Each structure stands twice: as structure tokens, then as C-alpha cells.
Amino acid sequence: MLDEPNDFCRLWLLRHPELESSHSELAVGAGPADLSRRGRAQVLRWLEVFQEREVAMVACGPQPQSHDPAKGLAEHKQLEVQVDARLRDQEMGQWQGRSWAEIMRDQEGAVRTFFSEFGESAPPGGETLGQAVERMLQWWTEVMPKAAGQEVVVVGPGSLLTGFAAAMLGMRLSRCLSLNLPYGGIAALDAFQNGVRIATWNGDALQD
């Protein structure tokens, strides 16, 4: 079992559930996407996992793939979901909503740079992952002072959550790839005044 939060905040990071196959090959970025049947089942799994947890806040960005599951979890805990645009996915500019195959065909060099300089290269007209993570860090700076001794849930896209975790742990942003979190995955950071630790990462630590 995990320690109960007292002098720290337990920050739960929930990657939004699996998307419909029609969206899985797209550069969705900060755009909307629909959940698959399996994704909807993953939300029910969350309700089971957090059944006995004393959650103080459920936050998310405005994208429906994050907002709708977060709202379901918040209502289950008799809370109102806290929507903040800073928790949206990376803005993908000209690539947003297009298939990766099409983007690769038209702008192969830019795509290769985007992935070889992961986190530091922006799509045309978009933002870097580092800039998106900075948004989430700004949000956290506001939330943290009021969150000691509480459990806070954030539902969001995988790249943003893992990039945020890497930043909190003092890792290079490109290392966030080593913190893979699958669709519907659950991770938790224990945030103290002077640092953070990983409490669990994509595990069923709450289950007997």
C-alpha cells in the first residue's frame, strides 16, 4: 500500500484513455478525439481504482478525450472537474489533425527534426513540447501551495504528463520517453516542498 499523504501532495497522472482507431494515426495535438470502446472501459477501471481514495481535485485540459473521462471521475467523487487550458496537449500547428503518413510525405525533413530533437523542436506554427510542459508547470506552481496532504488527479495526454514528470524529477525533457505511460495508464508523484518521488508508475499498487 502507498503511504497516506500528510506533508506532501500525491499527484496522480492519468493518461487519457485509448482513442478510436481513426484518430490513432493522426497528429491529434491539442485537437479533439473520440475514445474507443476499450478507452471507455478504461474509465470504468479508473472508477474502481479510485473508489477508496480521498481525492480533493480532478483537473484536465479542454480536449474531450481528457475532459470527458475526468468529468466522469470527478462526478464519481462528488467533485466538479477543474478545466484549465494549460493542461491541453502540445499545439501541433499546421500538422494538427493530419495523418502522420501525409505529414511525412509532405514535410519529411521537418518530421525527422521534430523527433530527433524531441521536446525542443516545434511543428510549423506550433509549439515545442517544452513549451507545453512549461504551461503545466505554471499550473502546478499555483496548485501546489494549497495541495499539501491531499490527492490531486490530472487527466491528460501522455507526452505532456511524462514531460511534466521528467521536469519534476530533474530529468532532461527528451528522457520522458523512458517514462512511457500507456493509454489509460496511472502514475503518481509524491510532491514535497523540496522535491518529488515516484510513488507508482503504471502499476496496480492500489489493488489487494
d(CA 40, CA 17): 7
Q: Report the candidate in 140, 109, 138, 110 with the shortest Cα–Cα distance to residue 122.
A: 110
Closest by CA position to 157, among listed 43, 82, 62: 62
Strands (DSSP E) contained in the chain are 9-15, 55-60, 82-83, 151-156, 186-192, 195-201
| The pLDDT of residue 174 | 87
pLDDT given at position 6: 77
Report the distance separating Cα 35 and Cα 65, nearest Å.
Answer: 6
**Cell 484549465 sits on residue:** 84
Q: What is the pLDDT along the chain (208 residues), one digit of tens a residue?
A: 677 787 899 999 999 999 999 888 899 999 999 999 999 999 999 999 999 999 999 999 999 999 999 999 999 999 999 999 999 999 999 999 999 999 999 999 999 999 999 999 999 999 999 999 999 999 999 999 999 899 999 999 999 999 999 999 999 998 898 899 999 999 999 999 888 999 999 875 444 3
pTM of the model: 0.93
Which architecture, in CATH terms, is 9-92+129-201?
Answer: 3-Layer(aba) Sandwich (3.40)
Residue 154's pLDDT is what? 98
Round to whole Å and give the CA distance between 139 and 123: 24
**Cβ(42)–Cβ(183) below 8 Å:** yes
Pairing, β 82-83 against β 55-60: parallel
Domain residues of the chain, as ranges? 9-92+129-201
**68 φ, ψ to 5°?**
-65, -45
> With contact defined as beta carbons under 8 Å apart, do 63 and 33 qualify?
yes
What's the pLDDT score for residue 208?
39
Sort strands 55-60 and 151-156 into parallel, antiparallel or unpaired: parallel
